[in-house]
Amino acid sequence: MIEFSDVDFDYPQGQPALRDINLSIKTGELVAILGGNGAGKSTLVRHINGLLKPTRGTVTVFGNNTRKASVAEISRRVGIVFQSPDHQLFAETVEKEIDFALRNFGTSLQFRHERIRDVLDFFDLQKYRSSSPLKLSSGEKKRLSIASIMAWKPDILILDEPTVGQDAFQQDKLKELVGLWTDEGKTVVIVSHDLEFLWGLVPRLIILSDGSLVADGKTEEILMKEELIQGESLHKPQLLDLAVMLRGTPPYHSFQNASDAAKWILKSRE
């Protein structure tokens, strides 16, 4: 579905941002991209919907070279939620923000009304339906950004730092959304520093450092690489660290969430 082949990217002033990226993401995969500030995470995902074009190499999405396809064409199937909602929101009201893509993609009036209602309910934004997005809190703006993409159900959903400004309840809703997307066979790519959030999702983890891909593998494999995790200023979930201290290497693959890990830790102390 997504293919990076020998991709380099330089910003206009000549600053290198990506170097020799070779990466494939299959249909239905859940992928998390991690790395320190300036590692190239946001730059990488903006190549997927064509907002950025590689300086060298090729990015292919659904068999189409992103150099030759317009952002509008790719965006019908690739939805990206930016790290900063202020870079994405522009409509007069919350309802019009969600309706914008639905209307432009030519969906029926009935479908538009149903999808707007559903996503407003899902993200607890119904009471702001007629409000300006500018009046929302930062966390509410983030949810509105996700809702506006969720409304038209793209085949690829890209979430750039989705947990910023979200409390535990809203983070659980995000996990539910990711689960719904992958259950439907759609692809989800998450850019995040939040390993506590990602751990329960058990995604494929990709780590970037200074624009280069330095690790790519299963969650349990990457989390065991202490030097790599620490070198990229990432922090393992606290329960996993505690489990290691108590009994050595825990059965990562059996932990679907923090509750599972807590039960294992308590049992290990009996």
pLDDT digits (tens, 9 = 90+) for 112-157: 999 999 999 999 999 999 999 999 999 999 999 999 999 999 999 9
Ranges of residues in the chain whose predicted pLDDT is under 70? 231-233, 235-270
Q: Write down the domain spans for the chain.
A: 237-270
Provide the pLDDT for residue 78: 96
CA-nearest of 91, 107, 214, 97 to 149 is 97
Provide the pLDDT for residue 13: 84
Three-state DSSP state, 134: helix
Provide the pLDDT for residue 200: 79
Provide the pLDDT for residue 137: 95
Please report the beta strands in the chain, taking only residues with DSSP state E, as ranges in sequence order: 2-10, 16-25, 30-34, 56-61, 64-65, 78-81, 156-160, 187-191, 204-209, 212-218
